[in-house]
A = this chain, B = another copy of it.
Amino acid sequence: MTVPDAHLPALRPGEECLPGGPTLQPEARLCFIGRVRTPWAPGDCPRNIGAARDSGEHARIELAEGYAKALTGLSVGQAVIVIYWMDRARRDLLIQAPRHADGPRGTFALRSPNRPNPLAMSTVEIRAIDLDAGILEIDALDCFDGTPIVDLKPWLPTIDAPPGGAGS
């Protein structure tokens, strides 16, 4: 990770890295439970979920073989959290200078895909469920077509809303 792969973005002024990059745990491996289907490819992907929603383009979650049953109990109109894997990101950035931000900031104060574990998440709304096929139609998502999904969770106010109104 000290010499980043050619496909990773170069450092911008003010950005800082973790020397040597993160230490990956051999025992903490992820499985891909499915893929996101969107109309987006590198070059035309909305910058955030708000822009993805504004585009009017919906998205779809296609579960991998065998996982369909695990959707049992979800319902149309429900909010779910999608956690997905941004495999084209840098994992060594501590301080980042995103183009839209007003200066360099810490990785854990940003939603950038560049982070020690490139997990991205958004809360979306279920528009349709095909329990046999393992497919959820959702309102929108701001990621490339084919992005691997690692988890789906029901959004619950007691766990997922800011406590005491913080941050809202």
Contact = CB atoms under 8 A, between A and B. Distances in A.
A163 interface: yes
Nearest to A66: B18
A16 to B, nearest CB: 6
> Among A69, A80, A83, which residue has the most Cβ atoms of chain B within 10 A?
A69
Interface in A117-134: 117, 119, 121-126
Nearest to A73: B109
A24 B16 contact: no
Interface in A37-63: 48-50, 53
A164 interface: yes
A70 interface: yes
A71 interface: yes
A81 to B, nearest CB: 8
Contacts of A168: 79, 155, 157, 161
B69 A163 contact: no
Nearest to A164: B125
A114 B19 CA distance: 34
A109 B79 contact: no
A9 to B, nearest CB: 17
Given A26-B29, A105-B73, A117-B150, A167 B79 contact: yes
A111 B156 contact: yes
Interface of A: 16, 18-19, 22-33, 48-50, 53, 66-67, 69-74, 77-81, 83, 85, 87, 91, 94-95, 104-111, 115-117, 119, 121-126, 139, 148, 150-164, 166-168
